[in-house]
Chain A
Amino acid sequence: MKLFCGIDVGSAATKAVLITGSLEVQGRGLCPSGADFSAAARQVFDAALAGVGAGEADVEAIVSTGYGRTNVDFATARRTEIDCHARGAYHHFKRAITVVDIGGQDNKIIQLDAAGKCLKFAMNRKCAAGTGAFLEEMALRLNVPIDKLSKMAENSAAPGVSIGSYCTVFAMTEILSKVRAGVKTEDLARAALVSVAKRLLETQAIVTDIVATGGVVAHNPVLRDILKEILKTEVHIPPHPQHIGAFGAALVAASEQKE
């Protein structure tokens, strides 16, 4: 069986996806990126291969993407995560869409036309506002495990609570003042997720349905409703949203092989 692999070395997590020439997903891998991107890439690649019961020789092409894309020395080509998230999302929603990827350290908003071509894209500015890193800081301040943030936000009874500042440090100060004022943790958890959606709102005008990808959406299902409310548009989540970048990279590997 001929396989094609995409490896997405993100700032927080590294993902791998193996597909066949007919673009069917055969295996996935996931691990924290840590400090050694090459080792993380190798780890997810091996994990994905092991899941399929295949060997490295079965893989025709490997495309790397993400922050650590240049660290994958066994990749045959590389692409930016912008291109890969766009391709991965478009594969599931073949129409004019806006891909919103909320990653560990950056956000991407990518507008695609009906043929899947990138019309424009924007990333968040230098600061961590609106990213997974922002949520991690907020969770730490609220003393809530990051994987429980979404669940807590679902139980918020006061959706009007908000965080005004887009600076992570200022936002934490704001959280402290609200904690002192007796605002419930559930409401502050929701406010943190609303803040993420508001940062997206100001990044680039969104004129189509959204396809949300990335680890933050994967781990915070309540974010879908919040995005829908704040961005005032339909929000779709593809299967395995955290792996969409790697999946897109695998699609590139398969398409380049055909060419």
Chain B
Amino acid sequence: MSEKKLEQKKIASVKTFKKIMADHFLQIDAAARDPGRKVAWCTSVGPAELLQGFGFEVYYPENHAAILGSTRTATDYIPYANAAGYSPEICSYLTADVGAYMQGFTPLTKVYGIEKIPKPDVLVYNTNQCRDVQDWFMWYSREWKVPCVGIETHRGVGAVTKVHIDSIAGQLQDLAGKLEKIAGHPLDMDRFKQSVELSRRCSELWDKVLRAGTAVPSAITFFDGTIHMGPAVVLRGLQVAVDYYQELLVEMEARVQNKVAAVAGEKHRLYWEGMPVWGKLRNLSMQFLELQTCVVASTYCNSWIFNQLDPDEPFESMARAYTELFIVRSDAVKEDYIARMCADYRVDGFFYHNARTCPNNSNSSYGMPQRLTERTGKPHLVIDGDLNDLRCYSEEQAKTNIEAFVEQLAQAT
């Protein structure tokens, strides 16, 4: 059997993407070495805008952990954290990042020439991602003897009420008081509001970019999204992210207009629920390409859209944005969301990644795939794996399951 040589459709904006991501890391590295500047670590959906309002350079360790994953170095370092009492069953972002630190390793050295991760002046979390981020930051807080502060989220939220918003907005205001002492100066309200406004604009543009996946054929894949979401995570609140997504959107709109398919000969369209398998992005992307199946949308890439942000009500709108997000909602709300996405993106089936060390961001353990299949009539596939720990991933099993799922989809058409 002769194999066809397949090529992924390149996104031209990746050149700008690489430059602004490099600038981001180099700027934080410089700030960490400058006694006159302050660095804050922030969880990926933490209060970045508030930190920017205080003038902190903001570093996102989840992004660093994802780089450990995508460079396939995470699995080498996870065991060191395991041996230090951090179980193989907990977040492999945490274990990879802490394990790498223990061994004096960062992938930033090879990519950007940065010697080590930036030592922070404060660690700021929002437990909306999970409780593990708090444990993660507390480890560094003890290691470096720097303060660790944050927001305790609500979980399993059905309708978002004033009680929820008041509670989180109140915590944000309390947090501002703590940050003022660490920063050594009051919050710059104008800068804070500007950051909220830029974050919202970044979100709106990123949303539009992702909606290129509603086109048939889709102009973008989930795998493209996992790369190009970088600025929405680590540069939101800054003009550079807005500029980047304007450029990327132009490219995506041109693709849609010209019916350029991200997956040549697109036959099937899937929805990805759960975390990426960072170390296998390319392999999975190539397999779907070969199967002429496009993963057109995901919960994950859409999790950095905060259109609720409003500079006129910065605390309240941040509270709303960071409480209305998918990950902290009830299963009923999550199911409505995915069903809506299924219709909007015209998907033929659902792919669930059951990430062993990320139960908080895996939605296949309480019957949701079965309920959504019954509701939408679209079949589903659940793959066991992990975001970073490749010891939990059987590539052969995953490949066979994906291939068989596409065979099943082909029978249905």
A-B contact count (CB 8 A): 43
Interchain nearest-CB distance for A52 vs B (Å)? 23
Which residue from B384, B407, B412 sits with its C-beta under 8 Å from A79?
Answer: B407
Q: Does B27 contact A (CB under 8 A)?
A: no
What chain A residues lie within 8 Å of B403 (beta carbons)? 80
**Distance between Cα atoms of A229 and B408 in the complex (Å):** 30
- Which interface residue of A75, A79, A80 has the most chain B CB atoms within 10 A? A80
What chain B residues lie within 8 Å of A118 (beta carbons)? 404, 407-408, 411
What chain B residues lie within 8 Å of A117 (beta carbons)? 411-412
* Cross-chain contact A81 with B1 (CB below 8 angstroms): no
**Distance between Cα atoms of A125 and B382 in the complex (Å):** 10
Q: Does B170 contact A (CB under 8 A)?
A: no
* Cross-chain contact A81 with B400 (CB below 8 angstroms): yes
Q: Does A186 contact B (CB under 8 A)?
A: no
* Cross-chain contact A106 with B397 (CB below 8 angstroms): yes
Q: Does A257 contact B (CB under 8 A)?
A: no
Chain A residue at smallest Cβ distance from B385: A126
**Distance between Cα atoms of A117 and B411 in the complex (Å):** 7
* Cross-chain contact B384 with A125 (CB below 8 angstroms): yes
* Cross-chain contact B404 with A77 (CB below 8 angstroms): no
What chain B residues lie within 8 Å of A79 (beta carbons)? 407
**Distance between Cα atoms of A75 and B1 in the complex (Å):** 6
**Distance between Cα atoms of A80 and B408 in the complex (Å):** 11
Q: Does B394 contact A (CB under 8 A)?
A: yes
Which residue from A67, A78, A123 sits with its C-beta under 8 Å from B1?
Answer: A78
**Distance between Cα atoms of A82 and B379 in the complex (Å):** 16
Q: Does A76 contact B (CB under 8 A)?
A: yes
Known A75-B1, A78-B1; judge A123-B379 contact (CB<8 A): no
* Cross-chain contact A126 with B394 (CB below 8 angstroms): yes
**Distance between Cα atoms of A75 and B412 in the complex (Å):** 26
Q: Does A256 contact B (CB under 8 A)?
A: no
**Distance between Cα atoms of A83 and B412 in the complex (Å):** 13
**Distance between Cα atoms of A64 and B1 in the complex (Å):** 10
Known A80-B400, A126-B394; judge A121-B408 contact (CB<8 A): yes
Interchain nearest-CB distance for B304 vs A (Å)? 30
Interchain nearest-CB distance for A34 vs B (Å)? 17
- Which interface residue of A117, A119, A123 has the most chain B CB atoms within 10 A? A123
Interchain nearest-CB distance for B391 vs A (Å)? 10
* Cross-chain contact B407 with A126 (CB below 8 angstroms): no
Q: Does A120 contact B (CB under 8 A)?
A: yes
**Distance between Cα atoms of A83 and B382 in the complex (Å):** 17
Q: Does A73 contact B (CB under 8 A)?
A: yes
* Cross-chain contact A67 with B407 (CB below 8 angstroms): no
What chain A residues lie within 8 Å of B7 (beta carbons)? none
A interface footprint on B385-413 (CB within 8 Å = 1, 0 otherwise): 00000001010110011011001100110
* Cross-chain contact B400 with A76 (CB below 8 angstroms): no
What chain A residues lie within 8 Å of B407 (beta carbons)? 79-80, 82-83, 118
What chain B residues lie within 8 Å of A67 (beta carbons)? 396, 400
**Distance between Cα atoms of A78 and B406 in the complex (Å):** 13
What chain A residues lie within 8 Å of B411 (beta carbons)? 117-118
Chain B residue at smallest Cβ distance from A120: B379
Known A77-B1, A78-B1, A120-B379; judge A126-B404 contact (CB<8 A): no
What chain B residues lie within 8 Å of A119 (beta carbons)? 379
- Which interface residue of B396, B397, B408 has the most chain A CB atoms within 10 A? B408
What chain A residues lie within 8 Å of B384 (beta carbons)? 125-126
Can you name 17 extra interface pairs (CB under 8 A) apart from A79-B407, A80-B404, A126-B397?
A67-B396, A67-B400, A73-B1, A75-B1, A76-B1, A77-B1, A81-B400, A82-B400, A83-B404, A83-B407, A106-B397, A117-B411, A117-B412, A118-B408, A120-B373, A120-B379, A125-B384
| Chain A residues engaging chain B, CB cutoff 8 angstroms | 64, 67, 72-73, 75-83, 106, 117-123, 125-126
Residue pairs across A and B with Cβ atoms less than 8 A apart, 17 shown, are: A72-B1, A73-B1, A75-B1, A77-B1, A80-B403, A81-B400, A82-B400, A83-B407, A106-B397, A117-B412, A118-B408, A118-B411, A122-B382, A123-B397, A126-B392, A126-B394, A126-B397
Closest 10 CB pairs of A and B: A82-B404, A80-B404, A118-B408, A83-B407, A80-B403, A126-B394, A117-B411, A75-B1, A80-B400, A125-B384
